[in-house]
Chains A and B, each alone.
Chain A
Amino acid sequence: MHMADALISPAVGMAMWGATAGVASYSLKKLNMEADEKKLPLMGVLGAFVFAAQMINFTIPGTGSSGHLGGGLLLAALLGPYAAFLTLAVVLFIQALFFADGGLLAFGCNVFNLGFYTCFIAYPLYRRLIRRTNIWFASIIAAVVGLQLGAFSVVVQTLLSGKVELPFTTFALFMQPIHLAIGIVEGMATAAVISFVMKAKPELSTTNTPTNRLIGTLGLLALLIGGIFSSIASSKPDGLEWSILRTAGTEELHATTALHTALERLQQSLALLPDYNLKNGGASIGWLDIGTSVSGIVGVFIVAIAMLVPYIMKKWRKEA
């Protein structure tokens, strides 16, 4: 699922670098490495372990093929989400630079797609599920959720970049089922290793959870509203548009001066999601308008990142 440099535009690449840098700084602050210096060599050797484990293939039960471990969820289960995110970022940097697996411009996209969803969404889900069900079920569900979100991000980032002509629905229908299968395999592999380690060394499992219940619930609600309910939002004008409609007879005022036209053209070329839709328009499945749903989900993430920045800056200032 590694994104390549050839597929993304510099704007998307840099935006994802920014998002990754924000999450990495937040993780560094939360980790408090000065207090737990012992974790540093552990992060280093576990990063190297992920490389090694990926070399050992296993037979996928019920099929004739083989698969290997991805390692994100396993790292989160062993190190906690913050250390796991940083370890994965370093692993992906080495893969991009030394093995050309994923690009350098696409590094931010890859860390976000493979690290953020696994450590900050799939892992908390795994911890919740493991209290109620068995390790196999928890691992498979968490790995599937993490990979589905990651694969969906690849689709969105590729379409926003506009470097290839791929209809949203076709690309998503190609990526999501493949990553469903990969997620199940990843979950099984993670469960196989963790259940062995739990028996041999139970003290190694971590108890570190990144988000409290309120933030998690609000985040999920925002994604649900942005991703699904935005499609059935009213098509009637909002308050301001209604007032303009009543006074000027049109919902939007159009200026005709050269400066306004030039600025409007610039805005149209810079806008990633003009009019809450994809640049080439979005397909729809039944009542679900894909373009609007993608805009909703992207919007939720942008707002979440924007909310994180002042919090991190405030913490920095306090420590300085």
Chain B
Amino acid sequence: MIHAHMSNMKKRRHDVHPLSMLIITFTYIFVVASFHTYAFIELVPLSLYPITMIVFYRLSIRHIKRVLLASLPFITVIGASQLFFIHEHVSFFHWRIEAGWLSFATLLVKNTLAVLAATVLFLTTPIEQLAGALLSLRIPRLLVIQLLLTYRYIFLFLEEAKRLRQAYMLRAPNHRAIQLSVWGSLVGHLLLRTFERAERVYEAMTLRGFSIQRMHIKIKRWTTKERIYTYVTVILFIVYRLVVI
């Protein structure tokens, strides 16, 4: 996950402002979610936005595929249930098909588009710039700092968790998972180490003169060109939604 993010950070040009990306992504998801249950055809043209972004920024297809697959199980179960609860028939081009299938397909397309839009935002926007954009949207500073701190430590802890699991599995090769009694103390130890790390982080921050109000988060200037790009894209999405009902 982190590798896909990092490699995209290195190779791309940062020419879309994070605030623009945030506003465009939210509007896009809002528009996608607003379509009705059978709007399969109407949703297809909206795929142009994520596809263009993926191609233009040469985003990691492997990462996108993994994220899309992870989002599928819940939506597939709910979508498949439509086959049992909708018994009407609807016309789709020249065919008459069961409405349940159309509803299922629409749900899958909606989910794919929403996940693609969020993934494009994640892969094209560095976390510090996203934090700046959130601050300019008046999200409380404490929450933004909290986001940065959590993100900073996630990958460190994931590595540690992987090592713990691997060490257990090497000692108990026949076990599919860790026994609950052992798991409690294993994760408990990880938690205690977390507390010690939090103490050290706090001491290091205090020594550098840290305070919530003084912590510097760079807010990139939103130029006129970027504003126009954002407004035009947002208006395009909204107009499309209003025209295609």
What is the interface of chain A, defined by CB distance below 8 A to chain B? 2, 4-10, 13, 24-25, 28, 33-34, 37-38, 40-49, 51-53, 55-61, 66, 69, 86-87, 89-91, 93-94, 96-101, 103-105, 158, 163-167, 170, 188-189, 192-193, 195-197, 200-201, 204
Contact = CB atoms under 8 A, between A and B. Distances in A.
A52 B122 contact: no
Q: Which 5 A-B pairs have the closest CB atoms?
A: A44-B149, A192-B184, A196-B188, A48-B153, A66-B177
A56 B165 contact: yes
Contact of A28 (B78, B115, B142): B142
A99 B198 contact: no
A98 B122 contact: yes
Interface in B145-187: 145-154, 156-158, 160-162, 164-165, 175-181, 183-187
Q: By DSSP majority rule, is chain A's interface helix, strand, loop, or mixed?
A: helix
Given A57-B178, A97-B121, 19 more contacts: A5-B32, A5-B33, A6-B32, A6-B110, A7-B107, A40-B202, A43-B146, A45-B150, A46-B194, A53-B161, A56-B183, A56-B190, A59-B180, A86-B146, A100-B71, A100-B118, A105-B26, A163-B37, A165-B85
B212 A52 contact: no
Nearest to B26: A104
B55 interface: no
B8 interface: no
Contacts of B47: none
B202 A7 contact: no
Given A6-B107, A193-B184, A195-B184, A101 B197 contact: no
Interface in B61-117: 67-68, 70-71, 74-75, 78-79, 81-82, 85-86, 103, 107-108, 110-111, 114-115, 117
- Which of B81, B157, B175 is most buried by chain A, counting CB atoms within 10 A of its CB? B157
Given A5-B114, A6-B111, A42-B195, A94 B151 contact: yes
B192 interface: yes
Contact of B202 (A38, A48, A97, A98): A38
A67 B70 CA distance: 17
Contact of B188 (A158, A170, A193): A193
B199 to A, nearest CB: 8
A115 to B, nearest CB: 13
11 contacts: A4-B114, A10-B33, A10-B34, A37-B211, A41-B202, A47-B149, A48-B194, A94-B151, A163-B107, A164-B78, A165-B86
Contacts of A55: 158, 161-162, 165
- Which of A37, A40, A100, A104 is most buried by chain B, counting CB atoms within 10 A of its CB? A100
Contacts of A87: 146, 150
Given A48-B157, A94-B150, A97-B122, A105 B188 contact: no
B32 to A, nearest CB: 7
Nearest to B176: A66
Contacts of A188: 180
A178 B7 CA distance: 39
